[in-house]
């Protein structure tokens, strides 16, 4: 049975299909049948009228943003409703959002990424490029491997690793703030106080980037960024 929060994404290929709801109702029914039973919440449904060959889909971008804001799972009726090319599927894998395809419930982002890699023989090209780069580095006298006793590496390597970790956490926080800012801005423009906005976010069970409850100060920082 389904558990947790979900954002549904539906796609129809033409404006005519969007207007007549051809195909849309079938997707909606498949999603609702899948969610039938269990402890779940369908927060929002997003519909895109777009060609399946295009990777630039604003409504899908919005659906992914909502998933990150609500810490929800993206749910679709059919996997082929998302894309037919490896580039787009890999982009979805890197979006930092869990998703569920009703027709392929075991197709996790990792599985889809592997399917995309196999489809375009991507793994082989990456391996070849990596080997060539390592060979070129070795020819220049660069020491490969880098790790020393206990796998700790040199002080320089540890410093680089720490800096990379800091930058990764910072990037994640900035991306989360960018996803959430439109919602907070809208409430601010409605003349809600920072404290009221924080209470509203907490009531919606939306956590901060660190998984904490919202405070007025945290809301103010998001608006100032």
CATH number of 3-119: 3.40.50.1390
**Could you give the CA distance from residue 36 to residue 13 in angstroms, rounded to a whole number?**
27
Which neighbouring-strand residues pair with 75? 8, 100
Three-state SS for 124-136 is HHHHHHHHHHHHH
Considering the chain, what is the average pLDDT of its residues? Answer: 76
Domain locations along the chain:
3-119, 152-224
**Is the pLDDT score of 183 beyond 70?**
yes
Average pLDDT over residues 113-140: 60
**Could you give the CA distance from residue 159 to residue 170 in angstroms, rounded to a whole number?**
17
Confidence band, pLDDT 50/70/90 cuts, at residue 133: low
pLDDT in tens, 142-177: 655 544 444 455 555 555 566 566 667 777 787 888
Dmax (CA) of the chain: 66
Find all residues with CB under 8 Å of 172, minimum gap 6, and list them. Answer: 96, 209
At residue 122, the pLDDT reads 41
pLDDT in tens, 120-130: 554 345 456 56
Give the long-range contacts of residues 51-57, CB within 8 A, separation 24 or more.
51/13, 52/11, 52/13, 52/80, 52/81, 52/83, 52/84, 53/84, 53/85, 55/83, 55/85, 55/87, 55/88, 55/91, 57/11
Confidence band, pLDDT 50/70/90 cuts, at residue 195: very high
């Amino acid at each position: 049975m389904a558990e947790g929060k979900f954002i549904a994404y539906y796609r129809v290929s033409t404006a005519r299909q969007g207007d007549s709801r051809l195909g849309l109702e079938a997707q909606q029914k498949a999603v609702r049948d899948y969610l039938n039973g269990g402890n779940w919440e369908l927060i929002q449904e997003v519909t895109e009228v777009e060609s399946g060959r295009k990777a630039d889909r604003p409504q899908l971008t919005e659906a992914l943003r909502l998933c990150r804001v609500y810490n929800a799972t993206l749910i679709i009726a059919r996997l082929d409703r998302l894309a037919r090319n490896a580039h787009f599927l890999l982009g979805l894998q890197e979006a930092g959002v869990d998703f569920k395809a009703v027709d392929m419930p075991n197709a996790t982002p990792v599985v889809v990424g592997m399917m995309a890699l196999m489809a375009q023989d991507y793994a082989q090209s990456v391996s070849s490029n990596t080997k060539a780069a390592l060979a070129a580095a070795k020819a220049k006298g660069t020491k490969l491997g880098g790790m020393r006793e206990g796998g700790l590496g040199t002080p320089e390597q540890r410093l680089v690793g720490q800096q990379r970790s800091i930058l990764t956490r910072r990037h994640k926080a900035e991306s989360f703030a960018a996803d959430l800012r439109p919602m907070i801005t809208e409430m601010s423009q409605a003349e809600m106080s920072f404290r009221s906005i924080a209470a509203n976010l907490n009531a919606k069970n939306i956590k901060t980037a660190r998984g904490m409850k919202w405070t007025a100060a945290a809301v103010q920082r998001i608006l100032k960024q």
